[in-house]
């Protein structure tokens, strides 16, 4: 039965979408993502004391078993979703794992995000992990907001930092605010929107919301508040900025071509709230999504959503599997029965969970832009669409090029079944990509990962959850390319050198190379061969 679109319901949906914003933070480890997240939650009233996110992390370590690994290494492997409210907005912050070996997980999370915040350490500028994640955002064309962090420490010249983004990422910049001083002499930021200076006081390690003194640019007190040289330097920079700067163009921001720039210090709470306010004004609200039935508008009355991540054993007491679903249209209601596009079956969405970090509360309704967690008894796979009304499937989530490969062996034949089951489930969950040799005699799966730690997690979980000890046999490749046009296209080019051909989980050809040089050589010799870094999505 179709969902009825009464004027009241339409109004409800329009309002819900207008008041929702969803984003992910992309950064290199140590840039301050955890700290910034914590401060955002502090402003959102979701936590009352800084330190809670880290404390939560520590608590989780104490209760989780396979995540023992996280504890041993002091890293965060899993991504979660944090929901909070600020100023009439419902905000979904899609948190991503900090460790670079888990960037595959981050890629998928970015598929569910409408906006990205690129967090950089002002002393370091662009770092490798940020560049990689930026490329994923660019592919999706989502708006990117830049926050330069750690201004309470000596950093690089602000113009130079902006120039780096322009030159190296090809992304235009617009400084929404501007820092006054840096390091020990960091005095605050000038907000170009209101033309006011926010002078900040340091709080004890930023444990509460920082008190800010706001003064006009023309206020005579300014010369007393800032030391003279700092004041002149700031005035000069401002003049330069206004002379050379690009115009602010929100349309360009929404197309991911212009990044608004913000400055601050997450740890001491300088500039975080100012950033949040501008971000909420400029960020894209939940937008339409491409599907087999055309663009699906968020205000479409029929519910739809897709699975972007699966997570096993978040709660070790239940040995459960949670599917993270991004709501794309209509309204989600507890216990609703929806169609599962891949299998054609009807699925009842019971026990929905609101996700807050590791804690969970029950959830009765959700709107476009929200993320819900559902218990997943093997029903869902990454990329699955669920819907009501007209049949549709959202574009799948691409697999990204792995860089490490190894045969996974099960030395104990009596464990064959458990081994198969474990490998399958971990693949479905997206813990690792699985490939196979084209040689039928070689039946062992090839694990294909972005980082070494992914291998360790797979082995650890196979042992702990499926009771199978495994052996790894590394392969000396570091580059994978899918072949556009599949086997037909590959067979046409004849024999290739310095590469091995394997099959992915869908039987499609993938070429493996020792290094980029070999890959470029094959591309050069066979211009007709369409080699792709991202797997064509499976529909
Ligand atoms: P991540 O999640 O991006 O990996 O970074 P995280 O927030 O854990 O921050 C990494 C380190 O940088 C932490 O120091 C943190 O306190 C520090 N940091 C974050 N924001 C700022 C800032 O604005 N200014 C300064 N000066 N430092 C900042 P740590 O010593 O590793 O941890 P902790 O002892 O402070 O907890």
Question: Is the C-beta atom of 313 inside 6 A of ligand 1?
Answer: no
pLDDT beyond 50 at 267: yes
Check whether 83 has a pLDDT greater than 70: yes
Residue 441 has pLDDT above 70, yes or no: yes
The pLDDT of residue 329: 97
Check pLDDT > 50 for residue 526. Answer: yes
Highest mean pLDDT among 4-8, 71-75, 87-91: 87-91
Mean pLDDT value of segment 22-39: 90
CB 39 within 8 A of CB 109: no
Cα–Cα distance list, 93 to 62, 80, 166 (Å)? 24, 9, 26
Longest dimension (CA), the chain: 82
The structure's pTM equals 0.83
Query: What angle do the packed helices 228-244 and 158-169 form, to 10 degrees?
Result: 30
pLDDT in tens, 101-112: 555 777 788 889
Average pLDDT, whole number, for the chain?
A: 84
Q: How confident is the model at residue 152 (pLDDT cuts 50, 70, 90)?
A: very high
Residue pair 352/332 in contact by the 8 Å Cβ criterion: yes
Q: What is the pLDDT of residue 77?
A: 39
Whether residue 271 has its Cβ less than 6 Å from ligand 1 = no
Percentage of the chain beyond pLDDT 70 is 84
Query: Which residue is closest in CA terms to ligand 1's atom 21?
Result: 267
DSSP 357-382: TTEEEE-SEE-TT-EEEEE-SS---T
Query: Is 465's C-beta closer than 6 angstroms to any atom of ligand 1?
Result: no
Q: Decide whether any atom of ligand 1 lies within 6 Å of the 278 Cβ.
A: no
pLDDT at 21: 96
Could you tell me the distance, in angstroms and rounded to a whole number, from the CA of residue 19 to the centre of ligand 1?
A: 31
Nearest Cα to Cα of residue 182 among 204, 205, 159:
159
Mean pLDDT of 72-79: 42
The residue whose CA is least distant from atom 10 of ligand 1 is: 30
% pLDDT > 90, the chain: 53
The pLDDT value given to residue 108 = 83
CB 79 less than 6 A from any atom of ligand 1: no
**Centroid of ligand 1 to alpha carbon of 150 (angstroms):** 8
pLDDT for the residue numbered 243 = 87
Is 34 touching ligand 1 by the criterion CB < 6 Å?
yes
More confidently predicted of 254 and 217? 254
What is the CA 123 to chain-centroid distance, rounded?
Answer: 23
| Helix/strand/coil for 432 | coil
Write down the pLDDT at residue 390.
Answer: 94
Check if 152 has its Cβ closer than 6 Å to any atom of ligand 1.
yes
Q: Which atom of ligand 1 is nearest to the CA of 153?
A: 26
- For ligand 1, say whether the CB of 130 is within 6 Å of any of its atoms: no
H helices of 19-97, in order, are 33-43, 52-63, 68-73
Q: Is the pLDDT of residue 56 over 80?
A: no
**76 Cα–ligand 1 center, Å:** 14
Structure tokens at 127: 């770092």
Q: Report the separation in Å between the CA atom of 30 and the middle of ligand 1, taken as the mean of its atom positions.
A: 6
Phi then psi for 243, rounded to 5 degrees? -75, -45
Distance 121 CA to ligand 1 centre (A): 10
The token duo for 102 is 């888990």
Nearest CA to ligand 1 atom 24: 150
Ligand 1 pocket, 266 CB below 6 A? yes
Give residue 33 CA to ligand 1 midpoint distance, Å. 8
Mean pLDDT of 499-507: 92
Q: CB-based contacts of 291: which residues, under 8 Å, 6+ apart?
A: 304, 385, 392, 393, 394, 395
Give the model's pLDDT for residue 425.
85
Q: What is the mean pLDDT of residues 207-221?
A: 72
Measured in angstroms, how far is the CA atom of residue 419 from the centroid of ligand 1? 40
The per-residue pLDDT for range 236-248, each reduced to its tens digit, is 999 999 887 778 9
What is the Å distance from ligand 1's center to 59 Cα? 19
Q: Could you tell me if the CB of 27 is within 6 A of ligand 1?
A: yes
Output the residue whose Cα is nearest ligand 1's atom 22: 150
Mutational pocket test of ligand 1: of 26, 30, 128, the residue with most ligand atoms within 8 Å of the beta carbon: 30
Atom number, ligand 1, closest to the C-alpha of residue 268: 23
Give the Cα separation of 203 and 270 in Å (integer).
Answer: 10
Q: Which pLDDT band holds residue 65 (cuts at 50, 70, 90)?
A: very low
340-387 per-position pLDDT tens digit: 998 899 998 876 665 544 444 556 789 999 988 887 667 888 889 999
pLDDT at 525 over 80: yes
Query: Does any ligand 1 atom lie closer than 6 A to the CB of residue 98?
Result: yes
- The strand pair at 144-149 and 115-121 is best described as parallel
* Residue 97 clears pLDDT 70, i.e. is over it: no
Q: What is d(CA 480, CA 519) in angstroms, rounded to the nearest whole number? A: 9
pLDDT exceeds 80 at position 477: yes
Ligand 1 close to Cβ of residue 55 (< 6 A) = no
Distance 41 CA to ligand 1 centre (A): 16
pLDDT value for 43:
79
Using the atom order of ligand 1, give the atom closest to the CA of residue 38: 7
Average confidence (pLDDT) over 463-469 = 91
Give the SS3 label for residue 231: helix
- Span 458-462, mean pLDDT? 90
Q: Is 265 in the pocket of ligand 1 (CB under 6 A)?
A: yes
**Predicted local confidence at residue 133, as pLDDT:** 87
CA separation for the pair 457, 131 (Å, rounded):
25
The region of weakest confidence among 42-51, 189-198, 482-491 is 42-51
CA-derived radius of gyration, the chain: 25
**51 phi/psi in degrees, rounded to 5:** 105, -15
Residue 161 scores a pLDDT above 90 = yes
Protein residue closest via CA to atom 12 of ligand 1: 32
Distance from the alpha carbon of residue 358 to the mean position of ligand 1, in angstroms: 21
> Atom 30 of ligand 1 has which residue's CA nearest to it?
30
CA angle 14, 359, 340 (to 5 degrees): 55
Whole-number pLDDT of residue 223: 78
Ligand 1 contact via 269 beta carbon (within 6 Å): no
**CB 99 less than 6 A from any atom of ligand 1:** no
pLDDT at 393 (0 to 100): 93
pLDDT at site 444: 94
């Amino acid at each position: 039965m179709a969902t009825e679109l009464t004027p009241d319901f339409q109004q409800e949906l329009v309002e819900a979408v207008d008041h929702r914003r969803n984003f992910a933070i992309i950064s290199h480890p140590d840039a301050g993502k955890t700290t910034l997240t914590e401060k955002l939650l502090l402003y959102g009233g979701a936590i009352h004391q800084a330190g809670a996110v880290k404390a939560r992390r520590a608590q989780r370590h104490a209760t989780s078993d396979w995540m023992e690994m996280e504890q041993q290494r002091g890293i965060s492997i899993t991504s979660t979703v944090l929901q909070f409210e600020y100023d009439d907005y419902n905000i979904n912050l899609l948190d991503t794992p900090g460790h670079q070996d888990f960037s595959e997980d981050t890629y998928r999370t970015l598929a569910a995000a409408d906006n990205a915040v690129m967090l950089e350490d002002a002393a370091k500028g662009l770092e490798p992990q940020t560049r990689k994640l930026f490329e994923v955002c660019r592919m999706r064309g989502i708006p990117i907001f830049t926050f330069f962090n750690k201004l309470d420490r000596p950093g690089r010249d602000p113009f130079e930092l902006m120039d780096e983004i322009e030159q190296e990422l090809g992304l235009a910049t617009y400084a929404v605010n501007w820092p006054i001083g840096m390091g020990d002499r960091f005095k605050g930021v000038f907000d170009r929107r209101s033309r006011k200076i926010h002078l900040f006081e340091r709080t004890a390690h930023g444990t509460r919301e920082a008190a800010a003194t706001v003064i006009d640019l023309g206020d005579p007190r300014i010369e007393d508040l800032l030391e003279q040289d700092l004041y002149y330097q700031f005035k000069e920079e401002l003049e330069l900025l206004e002379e050379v700067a690009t115009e602010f163009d929100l349309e360009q921001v929404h197309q991911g071509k212009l990044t608004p720039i913000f400055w601050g210090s997450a740890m001491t709470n300088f500039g975080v709230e100012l950033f949040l306010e501008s971000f909420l004004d400029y960020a894209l609200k939940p937008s339409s999504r491409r599907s087999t039935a055309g663009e699906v508008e968020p205000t479409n009355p029929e519910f739809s959503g897709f699975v972007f991540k699966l997570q096993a054993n978040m709660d070790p007491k239940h040995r459960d599997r949670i599917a993270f679903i991004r709501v794309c249209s209509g309204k989600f209601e507890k216990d609703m029965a929806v169609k599962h596009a891949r299998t054609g079956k009807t699925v009842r969405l019971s026990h929905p969970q609101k996700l807050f970090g590791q804690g969970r509360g029950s959830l009765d309704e959700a709107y476009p832009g929200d993320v819900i967690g559902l218990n997943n008894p093997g029903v869902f796979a990454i990329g699955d669409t669920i819907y009501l009304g007209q049949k549709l499937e959202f574009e799948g989530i691409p697999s990204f090029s792995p860089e490490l490969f190894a045969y996974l062996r099960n030395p104990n034949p009596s464990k064959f079944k458990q081994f198969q089951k474990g490998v399958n489930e971990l693949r479905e969950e997206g813990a690792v990509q699985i490939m196979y040799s084209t040689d039928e005699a070689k039946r062992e799966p090839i694990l294909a990962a972005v980082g070494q730690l992914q291998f360790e997690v797979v082995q650890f979980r196979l042992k702990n959850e499926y009771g199978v000890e495994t052996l790894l046999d590394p392969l000396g490749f570091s580059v994978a390319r899918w072949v556009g046009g599949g086997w037909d296209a590959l067979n046409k080019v004849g024999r290739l050198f310095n590469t091995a051909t394997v099959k992915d989980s869908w039987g499609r050809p993938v070429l493996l190379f020792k290094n980029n040089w070999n890959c470029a050589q094959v591309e050069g010799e066979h211009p007709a061969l369409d080699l792709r870094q991202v797997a064509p999505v499976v529909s």
